[in-house]
Structure 1
Amino acid sequence: MNKRIRVLHVAEAAGGVERYLQTLFKYSDKKQVENILVCSQNYDYKKMKSLADRVIVLKMAHQIDPSADIKVEKTLRRIIKQLKPDIVYAHSSKAGALARIADLGLKNKVIYNPHGWAFNMQQSAKKKEMYKWVEKILAHFCDKIICISDAEKESALREKICKPEKLQVIYNGVDLEEIKNTIPKTRAELQIPEDAFVVGMVGRLSKQKAPDIFVKAAKLIKDKIPNAYFLMVGDGELRDQVEEMIHKFDLDSSFLITGWIDNPTAYMKVMNVGCLLSRWEGFGLVLPEYMACKVPIVATNVDAIPNIIEDGNNGLLVAKDNYEACALAVQRIYSDAYLKDKISNIGKNIVNEKYYIEKVNANTLAMYCSVCKE
């Protein structure tokens, strides 16, 4: 192409979406793509500014707020008209709605990545139905919908969100070079006993990630493995509730909650087992990160997770909300050195072959070029 493809990314949700964008921008071919980011106030502006060509911060509400949302849409439309991007790329449900409405009638191409369908979340049937209809209506106003897993595409086809040809799967990927070069936290600096068997969980302390199930499993694990220690990397709205449960189970001296941190893989490298006990999950970026760190995985058998984890091969799968099964799976890994090594080695091979960021960027660039030619 004679000129760079100008892509205006719109993102409201932080967390996993923010990490996705960081790695996408870091490995983007700057000779071919100009990345401009419009993000919410929850993003790390300085970090994003060092990776994107330009960053614009807009105050966005995570929940539906008609008056605030209309203001954001008007501002977004003004930005799109001013910058004239070739592509508007909207990330997650809220930004996906705002950007597609703001872009109505304009001549650029529009791509949408839900990063996990809102209608797959654990919520009332009425809300699920509402989200389905919103997605079906707004699907008419974009050129391509990117699914981050095969399960996401299957969900869209099952619910008839759009025509099959509008859907494209581009798996999430991780920065293997950065993970390799990340210096692990030491047990001494985290005040974890050197002989501890560390069971970890990386993720937001929210209903989706089921930190309550992790704590209930921890109680059972501690009864069977006296030197077990539990590491929760993250923060969230359920932190107070989680801390109350930890205290109730008399696990205070065997638990560390780090709060938000910039380098979760430095903490993963301390773990003997890594858990992802989500109640719903569009992909679960932490899974390939665990695999890259050679951390054996225990995860729930929901949504996209079984697309990534084959039970008994590169991890162990348990039923959603089943803390007893989780505890038993951790105990299996603890007592079976062969299983532990098998899971670790196969997981490392899979992530090296399938879930690396350079592959994500190559597929994304090809998709940009294809969309712009249409």
Structure 2
Amino acid sequence: MRKDKIRILHVAQAAGGVDLYIRMLLKYLDKDKFENILVCSQDFHKEDYNDLVDYFEQIEMTRAIGGSDLKAIKAVRKLIRKYNPDIVYAHSSKAGAIARVADIGLKNHCVYNPHGWAFNMRCSARKKAMYMAIERAAAPFCDKIICISDAEKQSALDKKICRDDKLQVIFNGVDIEAYENGVHGAIKRRGLNIPEAAFVVGMVGRMSLQKAPDVFIKMAKKVKDEVSNAHFIIVGNGNQEAEIRKYAENNGFSDSLHITGWVDNAMSYVELFDVACLLSRWEGFGLALPEYMMAGKPIVASSVDAIPNIIRDGENGLLVEVDDDIGASEAVLRIYREAGLRDRLVAQGMEDVHSRFNARRVSEEHGKLFEQV
């Protein structure tokens, strides 16, 4: 290790979006200034970090709260002592709790990024109260908490998680350079049995309560009634898949519904969309939105949590109320019928993703924060 580098030890339990975020962050973080260590759960893959981290450590960390957490805390504390980092950076709620407890009394700084507050999920009042209690109790044991949107910061203040000066907003971003320099057109419509002239409406996200695939499929039925050659793509998997397929079958348009399952090339499917949807019931940020913009797609999204921080209704997308399949269908049909509107939304979206949601900006803002801390 060069003595003039700032050493950062990242702790992460949840893979998925957090994994992608960390890889994107490390890709553009100045390697002349920072040295990175990743301590993560078994859900991560070492080969994904070969050129991104200086050291890679895996320990047992589970999503559920339980007795195994004490073992994880001891393991993380041991690794903090081993590597003696300048900064411990904890990613997401579970790793955030484990890392902050493990770091108590050690001589370094601690940064925490919840990647979306757990207490904002739709869950029982008891669970919400538990998540808030954990966050309030752990907040004193870190120097900064990074919020991925203004809505996330305001939520922390409303719930009295910590003082305002401990919170810093760093908007999420997407790797525009990687996308623009990548392969395009890898997936063809004919490969999914979609006619070239079809009107394609799609969404990227798990088929679970948060992402509201039930609202998407009800919207699809209404659009199909108006546009006979409409087809619908859901990029993802999830526990509501059978229910979604059944609805399409019962309403006579199962041949027009295409569910990809989990894929590692979601953007290749987004390229097939004519309209891109994110109808979430809650959303800490909504990374699919700048991804849609990056691909030049007009957007219909729910007006909830952080989404209005990204989508300005009528400027770079259309906003509808949560659980409003009628409003969603009307917005999609407006884009279908109004070419001028569609072109304006796409043009503004492209401008916004380059100016506001570039991955390089995310890393630069982190770099400044690490140096300040």
- Structure 1 residue 303 displacement after superposition: 0.4
Aligned mate of 1:232, from 213, 231, 234: 234
Q: Say whether 1:118 aligns with 2:97.
A: no
Q: Report SS of the residue matched to 1:119.
A: helix
- Structure 1 residue 58 displacement after superposition: 2.5
- Could you say which residue in structure 2 is the equivalent of 1:34? 35
- Could you say which residue in structure 2 is the equivalent of 1:15? 16
- Could you say which residue in structure 1 is the equivalent of 2:130? 130
* Distance (whole Å) between structure 2 residues aligned to residue 320 and residue 152 of structure 1: 18
- Could you say which residue in structure 1 is the equivalent of 2:306? 304
Q: Which moved more, 1:259-268 or 1:40-49?
A: 40-49
* Distance (whole Å) between structure 1 residues aligned to residue 61 and residue 210 of structure 2: 22
Please report the TM-score for the alignment, with normalisation by the length of structure 2: 0.95
Alpha-carbon distance change, 58 to 204 in structure 1, aligned in 2, over 3 angstroms: farther
Aligned mate of 2:205, from 200, 203, 206: 203
- Could you say which residue in structure 2 is the equivalent of 1:153? 153
Alignment of 1:276-315 (within 5 A): 276-315=278-317
Match of 1:40, as an amino acid? S
Match of 1:322, as an amino acid? D
Q: Which moved more, 1:129-138 or 1:46-55?
A: 46-55
* Distance (whole Å) between structure 2 residues aligned to residue 351 and residue 108 of structure 1: 35
- Could you say which residue in structure 1 is the equivalent of 2:275? 273
* Distance (whole Å) between structure 1 residues aligned to residue 240 and residue 59 of structure 2: 26
- Could you say which residue in structure 2 is the equivalent of 1:262? 264
**Aligned residues: CA RMSD:** 1.5
- Structure 1 residue 351 displacement after superposition: 0.9
Q: Report SS of the residue matched to 1:110.
A: strand
- Could you say which residue in structure 1 is the equivalent of 2:245? 243
Alpha-carbon distance change, 195 to 148 in structure 1, aligned in 2, over 3 angstroms: same
Alpha-carbon distance change, 233 to 311 in structure 1, aligned in 2, over 3 angstroms: same
Deviations 1:281-328 (A, max 9, x none): 111111111111110001010000001100111001111111111111
Q: Report SS of the residue matched to 1:30.
A: coil
- Structure 1 residue 247 displacement after superposition: 2.8
* Distance (whole Å) between structure 1 residues aligned to residue 328 and residue 260 of structure 2: 22
Match of 2:60, as an amino acid? K
Deviations 1:214-256 (A, max 9, x none): 1111111111111111111112233333333333333321122
Match of 1:20, as an amino acid? Y
- Structure 1 residue 192 displacement after superposition: 1.9
- Could you say which residue in structure 2 is the equivalent of 1:332? 334
* Distance (whole Å) between structure 1 residues aligned to residue 59 and residue 323 of structure 2: 37
Q: Say whether 1:104 aligns with 2:104.
A: yes
Alpha-carbon distance change, 41 to 346 in structure 1, aligned in 2, over 3 angstroms: same
Q: Report SS of the residue matched to 2:202.
A: strand
- Structure 1 residue 165 displacement after superposition: 0.8
* Distance (whole Å) between structure 1 residues aligned to residue 13 and residue 194 of structure 2: 36
- Structure 1 residue 41 displacement after superposition: 2.2
Identity fraction in percent:
52
Match of 2:252, as an amino acid? D
Q: Report SS of the residue matched to 1:10.
A: strand
Q: Say whether 1:74 aligns with 2:53.
A: no
- Could you say which residue in structure 2 is the equivalent of 1:164? 164
Q: Which moved more, 1:32-41 or 1:301-310?
A: 32-41
Alpha-carbon distance change, 238 to 67 in structure 1, aligned in 2, over 3 angstroms: same
Q: Report SS of the residue matched to 1:51.
A: coil
Number of residue pairs aligned between Structure 1 and Structure 2 = 370
* Distance (whole Å) between structure 2 residues aligned to residue 101 and residue 317 of structure 1: 40
Q: Which moved more, 1:230-239 or 1:97-106?
A: 230-239
- Structure 1 residue 200 displacement after superposition: 0.8
Show structure 2 runs of 5+ residues with no match. Answer: none
* Distance (whole Å) between structure 1 residues aligned to residue 67 and residue 280 of structure 2: 33
- Structure 1 residue 2 displacement after superposition: 5.2
- Structure 1 residue 73 displacement after superposition: 1.3
- Structure 1 residue 276 displacement after superposition: 0.7
Alignment of 1:343-362 (within 5 A): 343-362=345-364
Alpha-carbon distance change, 261 to 48 in structure 1, aligned in 2, over 3 angstroms: farther
Alpha-carbon distance change, 23 to 323 in structure 1, aligned in 2, over 3 angstroms: same
Q: Which moved more, 1:236-245 or 1:255-264?
A: 236-245
* Distance (whole Å) between structure 1 residues aligned to residue 46 and residue 251 of structure 2: 40
Alpha-carbon distance change, 119 to 193 in structure 1, aligned in 2, over 3 angstroms: same
* Distance (whole Å) between structure 1 residues aligned to residue 254 and residue 135 of structure 2: 44
* Distance (whole Å) between structure 1 residues aligned to residue 212 and residue 264 of structure 2: 21
- Could you say which residue in structure 2 is the equivalent of 1:45? 46
Q: Which moved more, 1:356-365 or 1:15-24?
A: 15-24
Match of 1:233, as an amino acid? V
- Structure 1 residue 71 displacement after superposition: 1.5
Q: Which moved more, 1:143-152 or 1:228-237?
A: 228-237
Please report the TM-score for the alignment, with normalisation by the length of structure 1: 0.95
Alignment of 1:171-186 (within 5 A): 171-182=171-182, 183-184=184-185, 185-186=187-188
- Structure 1 residue 107 displacement after superposition: 1.2
